[in-house]
A and B are shown apart, each in its own frame.
Chain A
Amino acid sequence: MSDPVPEELLDVTVTVNGVPRHARVPARRLLSDFLRHDLGLTGTHVGCEHGVCGACTVLADGAPVRACLMFAVTAQAHAITTVEGLGTIEAMGPVQQAFTECHGLQCGFCTPGFLTTVTAYLEDHPHPTADEAREAISGNLCRCTGYQNIVKSVLRAAELRAQAAADASSTAARAVPGDGGGS
């Protein structure tokens, strides 16, 4: 084994939820710890720290990745979205709303990883079957729910997204004729 390397601090700036965030950190700082310790974004949870449990999953340029298997210094090349970027308590995103409605969580530890994973999955697969939903979450571990309600939540989130899209297009359709009066 080689001699210990002196710890050098690097200026690292990562765009998180649309905002460039800076901290001076060592090269070995994992993105998961950068988010939690350096930026105070504790929504991202750390479970196994070797890529198995999925709790730390965040989106890098929209694609889900394990924050514990990426260094903050490498993450500078990507736009990162954490669970904090998916919605607020007042205005939840469709996946958050669905997990709330379907009781898709108990203790909540694994939930941020499910929310990010499912959000990205539904972008590419807007109408999954129950089997596909189960496959989509196969890389995330939950020790409370037995997954049944999580699968229901994925399907419900797909409904909510479709509904929101339909509402948006009908609003747009109504707006087009533009009678000029009104407001």
Chain B
Amino acid sequence: MKPAPFVHHAPRTVEEAVEVLGQVGHDGKVLAGGQSLIPILNMRLASPAHLVDINGVAGLDEVTVADAAVRVGALVRHSRLELDEAAHAASPLLRQVVRHVAHPVIRNRGTTVGSIAHADPAGEMPAVLALTGGVVEVSGPHGAREIACDDFFLGPLETSLAPDELAVAVRFPFLGAHTGTAFAERARRHGDYALAGVAAAVTVEDGLVTSARLSFVSVTDVPGVLDVTEAVRGREPDDVDWSACDDLLRGHLAPEDDIHATAEYRAMLATRLAHLTLAEAAQDSLTSSAGGSAA
């Protein structure tokens, strides 16, 4: 199908974009990569009267590593983030996860910030923003503000962005030298939406687990963090029974049935993936700590 008619706006600056968004209000939608938005328009699940196409806005296409975070501008395509060596060196989790976002061809166009602003609980990058305790940088009519990810995701496909605000960048903070990370997801076919996905961050200090946290893809309503530290604190990384986290997982996961999998199966899968990624993240922590102390 084809999109319904809309008025196309092509601002050249963030200020112009914000001004147009203010004028069109709830009838407007921001177009960046469009790899989630355009299918929705093509299927006429949405028909905004105005599209504010930010592809010509200057200064939004930078990946920068500074102030203990990787900052990704609103026009940075997933593929660009994937290939960025400085971002990879600073935060290996980013490349590891972004490679699971759809197919390479979609990643050539889709943006990381757009995927976060879209706030699909089946998206990978919102889960990474949650796990890293990231921040969304926003420009609006009253200037700039920052929204912590806990306050950003309100529900499936729903964020605290006002209609006249533009997400101009996100920041993924570093997790520290003693924290290891891992990510795994399972889909029917590689590149499809995951049946379930899990990102894990485990901190090991003086040979003992001091923190263990998880975030999820496709099995919760809202991207958020589950802290499972209390179930595994003080254990040695090689000697942890990660199934000690299962009660906490049961309380947190809220998968739904659909044509691809039952809720029960998704919950089982997410639980197994949690065990897997927690163990990997603990090992990664030992490796990255070793690297850190050498540096």
Interfacial residues, chain A to chain B (CB-CB below 8 A)? 1-8, 10, 26-28, 30, 33, 49-51, 54, 57, 60, 63-66, 68-71, 73-74, 77, 117, 135-136, 138-139
Contacts of A3 in B (CB 8 A): 49
Q: Which of B5-13, B112-120, B226-234 contacts A (4 or more CB under 8 A)?
A: B5-13
Beta-carbon contact of B108 and A8 below 8 Å: no
Give the docked Cα–Cα distance between A66 and B42 (Å).
13
Give the docked Cα–Cα distance between A68 and B106 (Å).
11
Give the docked Cα–Cα distance between A50 and B7 (Å).
21
Give the docked Cα–Cα distance between A63 and B105 (Å).
8
Beta-carbon contact of B39 and A135 below 8 Å: no
Q: Is B47 an interface residue (CB 8 A)?
A: yes
Set A8, A54, A60, A69: member contacting B38, Cβ < 8 A: A69
- In the assembled complex, the CB of A128 is this many whole angstroms from the nearest CB of chain B, namely 13
Contacts of A138 in B (CB 8 A): 103, 189-191
- In the assembled complex, the CB of B178 is this many whole angstroms from the nearest CB of chain A, namely 34
Beta-carbon contact of A66 and B109 below 8 Å: yes
Contacts of B51 in A (CB 8 A): 27
Closest B residue to A3 by beta carbon equals B49
Beta-carbon contact of B2 and A30 below 8 Å: yes
Q: Is B155 an interface residue (CB 8 A)?
A: no
Set A1, A63, A68, A73: member contacting B42, Cβ < 8 A: A68
Closest 4 pairs between A and B when the two form their complex, measured CB to CB: A139-B103, A27-B8, A50-B39, A28-B3
Closest A residue to B106 by beta carbon equals A51
A4-B4 in contact given A63-B108, A65-B105, A65-B108 (Cβ < 8 Å)? yes
- In the assembled complex, the CB of B74 is this many whole angstroms from the nearest CB of chain A, namely 15
Closest B residue to A27 by beta carbon equals B8
Q: Is B27 an interface residue (CB 8 A)?
A: yes
Cross-chain pairs A/B with CB under 8 angstroms, 22 sampled? A5-B49, A10-B8, A27-B5, A27-B6, A27-B7, A27-B51, A28-B6, A49-B1, A50-B38, A57-B105, A63-B79, A66-B35, A69-B39, A69-B109, A70-B38, A73-B8, A74-B34, A117-B105, A138-B103, A139-B104, A139-B106, A139-B191
Give the docked Cα–Cα distance between A74 and B31 (Å).
10
Q: 1/0 contact trace for B8-52 toward A, CB 8 Å? A: 101000000000000000010001001100110111000111010
Q: Is B141 an interface residue (CB 8 A)?
A: no
Contacts of B288 in A (CB 8 A): none
Beta-carbon contact of A77 and B56 below 8 Å: yes
Beta-carbon contact of A74 and B105 below 8 Å: no
Contacts of B7 in A (CB 8 A): 5, 8, 27
Q: Is B55 an interface residue (CB 8 A)?
A: yes
A49-B42 in contact given A4-B5, A5-B6, A73-B53 (Cβ < 8 Å)? yes
Contacts of B38 in A (CB 8 A): 30, 50-51, 68-71
Closest B residue to A52 by beta carbon equals B39
Contacts of A2 in B (CB 8 A): 27, 47-49
Give the docked Cα–Cα distance between A183 and B191 (Å).
56
Give the docked Cα–Cα distance between A64 and B42 (Å).
20
Give the docked Cα–Cα distance between A7 and B4 (Å).
10
Contacts of A136 in B (CB 8 A): 104
Give the docked Cα–Cα distance between A26 and B189 (Å).
36
Beta-carbon contact of A71 and B39 below 8 Å: no
Beta-carbon contact of A54 and B47 below 8 Å: no
B47-69 interface (Cβ within 8 A of A): 47-49, 51, 53, 55-56
